[in-house]
Amino acid sequence: MTTTLSERISQSAFDGSRLRVVLLLDLYDGAQKQFLEAYEHLRSQVASVPGHISDQLCQSIENPSQWLITSEWESAPPFLAWVNSEEHVATVQPLHGCVRDTRSLRFSVLRETGNSIEDAPGPVKGRLQSAPRLGDGVVRHALTFTVKPGSEEAVAKILADYDPPKARVDENTRLRRTSLFMHGNRVVRAVEVEGDLLAALRHVSRQPEVRAVEEAINPYLEQDRDLSDPDSARMFFTRAALPTVHHVTAGRHEPNDVKRHALFYQAKDGCGMALARLLASQDEDAADDPTSPIDSSTIFQRDDIVVRLLEVSGPIAAQPAQVLGVDGPRKAAVLGRLLDDGANDSMPTSEKEAARFLAHSEMRLITDRRATES
């Protein structure tokens, strides 16, 4: 798929609209009692999470093994903070023994009838999405993990030396692109999928060339995993998930005229979401600036880790402050308050300092591949 020039694409977790989360579940036979007990515990836990409004548990009238959990949130950020937390990982653990398959869907609320903001008897938390967003049919997701210090070169060689998996997953899903970056001993794998992300990830995990790579890097991982054990694999990929919180494409350049880069930002404890929001604001401004070298930006965030994937026209160091997302002294000062003091270079208050900071933050590209059709 080629993005049409001048077509702006924007999607964000920071627009302030209410969020509806839909979780589809398929239970093992005989697991209903265990599931209901686990759900009651989950419900009592999530009810106290800031930003949570309500939830519902539904059972299919056609297939009793199919269940549906829906929840409503004031906005996306509090939900993302909860779902990516270690508390959430521990809370949903009892569900794993009774659920055969799950699928999670997340929607911002655009229109509603009944208890709308206009006619509700009491105040309604959150607001409706102001207007439909323009998408490009691509789902963006990333995974991140760390390897043992000293093993970086060995891991980089393994990750760079494999054949890309086949692109076609099924008639509706296609793996489009995979990019691998490293920053110190941290690995980030960013994927682009047309169609069903979960189906694509499962497809990739079953490919022999990918399985061989995953097995080869296992001895170097800081967090042990056994991909042959479903519980171990699920726990690893749950903790490794690095969700997209913002994406914008200005559409000013042809794909062949831009180069992909990734920047790593280590936020202070509890400041990851605020840092991602700051960078998202900068990238929205850049999308409206015809002089900006940034054609596309995707921001991934989990806890205090923020990764910014950029498509840049020309040398990345030509406009270092804008590429960093700190164009202007005020934004540089705010960024300085949000970054972990020991993880990043001094604040870029001049072009020279911005260039040094950019060199410190830029991740090393290991491989950037588009999947083959055959």
Is 118's pLDDT higher than 60? Answer: no
Q: Do the domains spanning 19-108 and 244-365 agree at the CATH topology level?
A: yes
Model confidence at 121, pLDDT cuts 50, 70, 90, reads very low
φ and ψ at 101, to 5 degrees? Answer: -155, 150
Q: Which two tokens stand for residue 70?
A: 């829906």
Element (H, E) at 316: none
Taking residues 127-139, what's their average pLDDT? Answer: 86
Domain assignments of the chain as residue spans, ordered by start = 19-108, 138-243+366-370, 244-365
Q: Quick count: other Cβ atoms within 10 Å of Cβ 24?
A: 15
**So what's the pLDDT on residue 63?**
95
Average pLDDT over residues 236-264: 91
The percentage of residues in the chain with a pLDDT greater than 70, rounded to a whole number, is 92
CATH class, domain 19-108, is alpha beta
Selection from 14-18, 78-82, 148-152 with the highest mean pLDDT: 148-152
Top-confidence residue, 190 or 162: 190
pLDDT at residue 6, as a whole number: 47
Residue 144 CB neighbour total at 10 angstroms: 20
Instruction: Kindly state the percentage of the chain with pLDDT values over 90.
Output: 52
Mean of pLDDT values over 44-51: 92
What pTM, to 2 d.p., does this model score? 0.89
Q: How much is the mean pLDDT over the chain? A: 87
In a 10 Å sphere around its CB, with 0-12 CB exposed, 13-18 middle and 19+ buried, how is residue 13 labelled?
buried
Instruction: Pick the range with the lowest mean pLDDT from 110-119, 172-181, 288-297, 330-339.
Output: 110-119
Question: Is pLDDT above 70 for 123?
Answer: no
Amino acid at 58: C
Residues 201, 190: contact at Cβ < 8 Å? no
Give the pLDDT confidence score for residue 142 in this predicted structure. 96
Residues 338-352: tens digit of each pLDDT = 988 765 555 666 777
Look at residue 197 in the predicted model and tell me its pLDDT: 87
- Spatial contact of 61 and 43, defined as CB atoms under 8 Å apart: no
Q: At what angle do helices 208-217 and 197-206 cross, to 10 degrees?
A: 80
Cα separations in angstroms, 1 against 50, 138, 233, 236, 248: 39, 9, 32, 31, 16
Contact (CB, 8 A) for 187 and 146: yes
Residue 43's CB: how many other CB atoms inside 10 A? 13
Q: Which residues contact 32 (CB under 8 A, 6 or more apart)?
A: 64, 98
pLDDT confidence band for 328 (50 / 70 / 90): confident
Q: Domain 244-365 classified CATH 3.30.70.1090? A: yes
Q: What distance in Å separates the CA atoms of residue 98 and residue 330, rounded to the nearest whole number?
A: 51
Q: Can you say whether residue 114 is alpha, beta or left, with left for phi > 0 and alpha for psi between -120 and 50 degrees?
A: left
Which has more confidence, 235 or 122?
235
Q: How far apart are CA 187 and CA 294, in angstroms?
A: 23
CATH architecture of the domain with residue range 138-243+366-370: 2-Layer Sandwich (3.30)
